[in-house]
Amino acid sequence: MHTTMETPATTTNLLHPSKRLRQRYRAERWFKRLGLLAIVLSLAFIAFLFFSIFSDGYTAFKQSYIALDVNFAAEEFTQAKLAHANFPGLVKKAMHSMFPEVDSRRGKKELESLVSPSAAYKLQDMVEEDPKIIGTTQKVWVLAGDDVDMLLKGKIDRKEKQSNRRLKDNQLAWIDRLISDKKLEQKFNWNFFTAGDSREPELAGIWGAVKGSFLTLLITLTLSFPIGVASAVYLEEFAPENKWTDLIEININNLAAVPSIIFGLLGLAIFINFWGLPRSTPIVGGLVLSLMTLPTIIIAGRASLKSVPPSIREAALGVGASKMQTVIHHVLPLAMPGMLTGTIIGMAQALGETAPLLMIGMVAFIVDIPGSITDPAAVLPVQIYLWADSPERAFTEKTSAAIMILLTFLVFMNSLAVYLRKKFETKW
Amino acid sequence: MKVTSILAAGALTLAITAPAMAARDYISIVGSSTVYPFATVVAEQFGKTTGSKTPKIESTGSGGGFKLFCGGVGVNFPDITNASRAIKPSEMKTCAENGVKDIIEVKIGYDGIVLANAKSAAPLQLTRKDIFLALAKDVPDPANPEKIIANPYKTWKEVNSSLPATKIEVLGPPPTSGTRDAFVELVMDAGCETFPSIKAMKKSDEKAFKAVCQTVREDGGYVEAGENDNLIVQKLQANPDAVGIFGFSFLDQNTDVIQGSIIEGEKPTFEEIAKGTYPVSRPLFFYVKKAHVDVIPGMKGYLAEFASEKAWGQDGYLADKGMIPMPQDERKKYGEVISSLKTMEMK
């Protein structure tokens, strides 16, 4: 306080600011710098996150393949059903014929482990698709084992002691020979985008989870959007103002803050145990997630209805429109962009949710691609969680790649929300 | 207009995509997260080679699995539960009360529990007594073994003078985990019983015995690192003084960055665990509802796939994934249990 008293009358001279004024300027500069620092810090965290995910994950979009000359000899297919033929045996024979010098049992086993167990499935598919190839020899590119793939991606150190490496010295020599013969190559990993989950990292794909997420969100959207919009319209336009509507309003706000796992428990108790809907299916997941997104949509809907000026309503009513016509023809279309933004953000939230799905059994190993909302399915974040927990090293890159895909969807949905808001926003 | 059309579209989509609630045509499996990596391989192999639907496997933990499994008979309840321990009498009682009377118990193999640290540190040579002293909340007073005191040990050297003078910092699973149950039973109890005074207590006051032997310290020496074993492996790389507890398959996959501690002179290798000389290994099981075997399509095929030599055999694909196979005669015994669908005796 005493400084103000000491301040001479020159305070008003801006060319020679007083000590007090200089202090205030300095404080202001620091305040600005702090704000900037906060933004720089959070951007740095995001950049670090993106960098670490990208640098771990980009390799997952390529996968190593080995070229095999498979002899589909007719005598192998004497069984009544094609599926009963010894396809793993065909793969082994093809490997042995490439390295005829390997004759010990142990050596053969080490040799066979270079090829993914999925190679046999591929041969089976080929024969079932075109039985005419029986009796011929075909060059087939099959997936290499996950250890070979990790070596090619530089994630296994050749200089490490043999006992600490997952690939032995003789295996490294075979791999080098395959590479120089152009029989071991990295190709674009289409499989990752078309396959379901698998316990073999080289075979695991994201499509099952993407489709599961899509079906789940479809249910969520079809339920929560109409219900949310209807509730918002009723509460904002029609409901009388009394303690009951106050109570409802408080509870909607409360619901928006309830931890998501609680909705999972509710879903387990009502949808699965009481209604008897099948566990682990998108229909239950969608129901649970729509409970979770409803409050978000209602709150956003009410806010955008509120922002429509009363003059619009009054004008419509003035020319003789009914209350319902006013709302449907005039108020709702004007409020729609805001409502859609709220819905998209709610959907993006639902897309990233795992906790409530844990309770209703969607955190599960599911290989088959879900075909309908009553088939068991996983969703994207669940797939990430499951892969992150798998012991095989090669799942690390798959985890990061799945995160990249989930982030892409989220960024896309959020930008769509921003775009819609910018495009249809009306300034009054 | 817009709203009604959206409503109609929504109703239509629901009507198209929701077929009638049919009987389940895939196998539903729940249970232990330790058995999960093995059961999933079998399920995938079964689905891909037979063209049947691939079984759905949830990783709920052994206890959670039994809870769901014992909920009742019918398509809404799982057909099989995996477990990293045998079923408890109390769980059997729950099962029986809910009408789940005929249960088939199948042992599938073994899993070793390992203690490991980063390659950059020296390997530890431990005994179960050392581990007990390092991790228990209360230990016998070194001056007067009759008296139980709060755990005074801060470094491994204080526990056993042949160990390095690094801080005791062990990352392990939380109490909800089957790995933790097995660790407590196989390591802590065994280490605890090396003290004659505590061993005597087991007969006289079992509750107090359990309290001393099975309570893990909470002063920072033992860190509950969650169920994600990959995370523990990463933390070990970052902190060479820390020791982690997890299943053998994670050590097997990461031998270039971590090393298993030697326990009572035995290295945690595939061979030692399979021989039974490595002291910390436990059996893995699954339990099947007999009433479901003929109702749910593919049950017999899945069981047969699991019990085939190419799966659980000495050189089977489960061994490649880190499961320790059973000896020949045990495989034969449980193979017969599967083919004859022999149920357990209900107590």
The per-residue pLDDT for B20 is 38
Q: Is A111 within a domain?
A: yes
The per-residue pLDDT for B204 is 79
Q: Which residue of B has its CA nearest to A124?
A: B49
Give yes or no for B314 touching A (CB within 8 A): no
The per-residue pLDDT for B9 is 55
Count of domains observed in chain A? 2
Q: What is the pLDDT of residues B133-172, one digit of tens each?
A: 999 988 888 887 778 888 889 999 988 888 898 999 999 8
> A17-31, B193-207, B287-301 — which is least confidently predicted?
B193-207
Tokens of B105: 């118990």
Report the residue from A117, A218, A393 with minimal CB separation from B317: A117
The per-residue pLDDT for A244 is 92
Residues A222 and A73 in one domain: no
Predicted-complex ipTM score: 0.80
Residues B132 and B210 in one domain: yes
Which letter does DSSP use for residue A353 in this model? -
Residues B252 and B312 in one domain: no
How much helix, strand and coil, in percent to the nearest 5, is found in chain A?
Answer: 70, 5, 25
The mean predicted confidence, pLDDT, of chain B is 86
Q: What is the pLDDT of residues B118-138, one digit of tens each?
A: 988 888 999 999 999 999 988
Tokens of A175: 């791999």
Q: What is the largest CA-CA distance in chain A?
A: 110
Out of A141, A166, A182, a domain closes at: A182
Q: Is A389 within a domain?
A: yes
Residues A291 and A400 in one domain: yes
Give yes or no for B56 touching A (CB within 8 A): yes
| Region for A387 from its dihedrals, namely left if φ exceeds 0, alpha if ψ lies in -120 to 50, beta otherwise | alpha
Tokens of A3: 């400084």
Which letter does DSSP use for residue A83 in this model? G
The per-residue pLDDT for B195 is 86
Give yes or no for B270 touching A (CB within 8 A): no
Residues B179 and B73 in one domain: no
Report the residue from B24, B37, B229 with minimal CB separation from A199: B37
Interface test with B, best of A150, A221, A367, A382 (most B CBs within 10 A): A367
Residues A307 and A160 in one domain: no
Residues B66 and B183 in one domain: no
How far apart CA B291 and CA B313 sit, in angstroms, is 28
Contact B192, B198 (CB under 8 A): yes
Closest CA to A330 of A341, A319, A340: A319
The CATH number of whichever domain residue A290 belongs to comes to: 1.10.3720.10
Contacts of B186 (CB under 8 A, 6+ apart): B113, B279, B280, B281, B282
Contact A380, A351 (CB under 8 A): yes
Residues B184 and B303 in one domain: no
Residues A109 and A172 in one domain: yes
Closest CA to A345 of A300, A283, A308: A300
Give yes or no for B210 touching A (CB within 8 A): no
Q: Which residue of A has its CA nearest to B233?
A: A391
Exposure letters B151-185 (e unless 16+ CB within 10 A, then b): bebeebeebbeebeebebbbbbbeeebbbbbbbbe
Q: How many CB atoms lie within 10 A of CB A217?
A: 23
Distance from CA of A386 to the nearest CA of B (A): 9
Report the residue from B18, B58, B254 with minimal CB separation from A363: B58
The per-residue pLDDT for A1 is 47
Q: Is A38 within a domain?
A: no
> A81-90, A195-204, B247-256, B306-315 — which is least confidently predicted?
A81-90
The per-residue pLDDT for B18 is 43
The per-residue pLDDT for B287 is 95
How far apart CA A404 and CA A58 sit, in angstroms, is 9
pLDDT band at B210 (very low <50, low <70, confident <90, very high): confident
Residues B257 and B287 in one domain: no
Give yes or no for B67 touching A (CB within 8 A): no
Residues A281 and A393 in one domain: yes
Residues A342 and A403 in one domain: yes
The per-residue pLDDT for A76 is 80
Enclosing domain of residue B273: 112-281
Closest CA to A91 of A115, A110, A109: A115
pLDDT band at B209 (very low <50, low <70, confident <90, very high): confident
**What is residue B32's three-state secondary structure?**
coil
Give yes or no for B14 touching A (CB within 8 A): yes
Tokens of A39: 């933004």
Residues B264 and B314 in one domain: no
Distance from CA of A216 to the nearest CA of B (A): 12
Q: Are strands B148-150 and B138-140 parallel, antiparallel or unpaired?
A: antiparallel
The per-residue pLDDT for A131 is 85
The per-residue pLDDT for B19 is 41
The per-residue pLDDT for B230 is 80
Which letter does DSSP use for residue A372 in this model? S
* Interface contact flag, A165 B6, Cβ < 8 Å: no
The per-residue pLDDT for A6 is 52
Tokens of B330: 């045990």
Q: Is B346 within a domain?
A: no
Burial class (CB in 10 A: 0-12, 13-18, 19+), B38: buried
Q: Which residue of A has its CA nearest to B14?
A: A219
pLDDT band at B15 (very low <50, low <70, confident <90, very high): very low
Residues A113 and A225 in one domain: no
Q: What is the pLDDT of residues A193-231, one digit of tens each?
A: 999 999 999 999 999 999 999 999 999 999 999 999 999
Tokens of B94: 């729950």
Q: Identify each DSSP E strand in A275-324 by its residue range.
A: none
Q: What is the pLDDT of residues A387-419, one digit of tens each?
A: 998 888 899 999 999 999 999 999 999 999 889
The per-residue pLDDT for A8 is 52
Closest CA to B183 of B137, B131, B219: B131
Count of domains observed in chain B? 2
Report the residue from B30, B47, B228 with minimal CB separation from A367: B47
Enclosing domain of residue A351: 207-424
Residues B214 and B250 in one domain: yes
The CATH number of whichever domain residue B298 belongs to comes to: 3.40.190.10
Residues A376 and A253 in one domain: yes
Q: Scan for tokens 């196989």, then name that residue.
A: B186
Contacts of B224 (CB under 8 A, 6+ apart): B172, B173, B174, B175
Residue B109's H or E segment, with its range, is strand B103-118
Q: How many CB atoms lie within 10 A of CB A102?
A: 18
Closest CA to B176 of B164, B168, B184: B184
* Interface contact flag, A390 B37, Cβ < 8 Å: yes
* pLDDT of B207 over the 70 cut: yes
Q: Is B347 within a domain?
A: no
Question: What is the rounded average pLDDT of the residues B25-43?
Answer: 91
Contacts of B9 (CB under 8 A, 6+ apart): A222
Distance from CA of B12 to the nearest CA of A (A): 10
Contact B198, B204 (CB under 8 A): no
In the predicted model, residues of chain A with pLDDT beneath 50 are: 1
Distance from CA of A161 to the nearest CA of B (A): 8
Residues A157 and A247 in one domain: no
Q: Is A53 within a domain?
A: no
Q: Is A199 within a domain?
A: no
The per-residue pLDDT for A299 is 94
One DSSP character per residue, A46-100 reads HHHHHHHHHHHHGGGGEEEEEEEEEE--GGGG-SSSGGGS-HHHHHHHHHHHH-T
Out of B237, B262, B281, a domain closes at: B281
How far apart CA A182 and CA A187 sit, in angstroms, is 12
- Chains A and B form CB pairs within 8 A to the count of 129
**What is residue A16's three-state secondary structure?**
coil
Contacts of A334 (CB under 8 A, 6+ apart): A308, A312, A426
How far apart CA A301 and CA A343 sit, in angstroms, is 9
How far apart CA B289 and CA B23 sit, in angstroms, is 17
Q: Which residues pair with B244 in a beta bridge?
A: B116, B171
* pLDDT of B17 over the 50 cut: no
Residues A224 and A341 in one domain: yes
What's the Cα-to-Cα distance from B113 to each of A227, B46, B167, B241, B255, rounded to whole Å?
52, 28, 22, 19, 15
Q: Is A188 within a domain?
A: no
* Interface contact flag, B253 A391, Cβ < 8 Å: yes
* Interface contact flag, B56 A388, Cβ < 8 Å: no
A120: chain B residues, CB-CB within 8 Å: 49
A336: chain B residues, CB-CB within 8 Å: 2
Q: Which residue of A has its CA nearest to B256?
A: A164
Closest CA to B38 of B269, B303, B322, B282: B322
